[in-house]
Amino acid sequence: MDLKRRIEEFKEMEYEFNKDFYATIKEQQHPHTLFIACSDSRVDAETLFQAHAGEIFQIRNVANIVPREEEPDTHPSVVSAIEYAVIVLGVENLIVCGHSNCGGCAAIRNLEKYKEKLPYTAEWISQSITISDYIDYRYPDMKEEDKIIMLEKLNAVQQLDNLMTYEFVRKRVEAGDLNLQAYYYNIGTGTISVYDYDSVFSDMIKEITSNRKLMYELKTQADSFNHIE
Ligand SMILES: [Zn+2]
């Protein structure tokens, strides 16, 4: 892959050809949407929305995860970008996009296997382990490939609940000022399913969230007990 040639072509073919457009965005950005998606190279916001530079503020990470506000492992990288987009840029839409054949979600199903080889990834994606455990508990007879698809969808919708733990998001959503939705992009068909915060998965997400809170309380108790020991 000749990257040098690609950036030269950008300057000659794209930038010079659309100079007037680039002049309109050189001082400021006014994105209408914050798009939180997986790092997967096939999930491309500009392509999906047929958008131009300056329209979409993006956060990309493995398995499109948003850390919950109340949990002890803070990840300011993700939350700082959300804070900036919601408070300063005033985006109208906040979209979390999951996708088919997600390597991150598949790895959540085999977390133990990755702990040694990919310790940072394993730690990051373990934030969604309660969703995977819930699927095993609720659908013990489901085929593994279907469990992974369900995890990819539930994981995207779960992030809406995670986002709502932040007051600056919650306030704008409850005021009807911020459109909060999860997408599931099927790369094999080009179809995008759209889920609102209040969706067919709402009851499941409530159960997962209460399991998760319980798990963290038990972990915190165990940690403090070990500390005393
Ligand atoms: Zn992915």
Residues 26/32/38/43 CA torsion (nearest 10 deg): -80
pLDDT at 222 exceeding the cut of 80: no
Backbone angles phi and psi of 212, in degrees to 5 = -65, -40
Is 123 contained in some domain? yes
Q: How far is CA 200 from the centre of its chain?
A: 19
Q: Tell me, in angstroms, the distance from the centre of ligand 1 to residue 150's CA.
A: 13
| Residues 178-200, mean pLDDT to the nearest whole number | 96
State the average pLDDT for the chain.
Answer: 94
| Residues 117-128, mean pLDDT to the nearest whole number | 95
Q: Tell me, in angstroms, the distance from the centre of ligand 1 to residue 198's CA.
A: 23
Which residues make up the environment of ion ligand 1, defined by Cβ < 5 Å? 38, 40, 102, 104
Q: Which residues of 94-125 are buried (b: 16+ CB within 10 A; e: fewer)?
A: bbbbbbbebebbbbbbebeebeeeeeebbebb
pLDDT at 229 exceeding the cut of 60: no
Total domains in the fold of the chain:
1
pLDDT at 169: 98
**Residue 52 is part of a domain; what is its CATH number?**
3.40.1050.10
Q: Tell me, in angstroms, the distance from the centre of ligand 1 to residue 124's CA.
A: 13
Neighbours of 48 (CB within 10 A): 17
Is 6 contained in some domain? no
Q: Which domain holds residue 133?
A: 27-228
pLDDT at 71: 81
- Model pTM score: 0.93
Length of the chain: 229
Q: What is the pLDDT of residues 15-28, one digit of tens each?
A: 999 999 999 999 99
Is 55 contained in some domain? yes
Q: What is the pLDDT of residues 53-75, one digit of tens each?
A: 999 999 999 999 999 998 867 78
Is 159 contained in some domain? yes
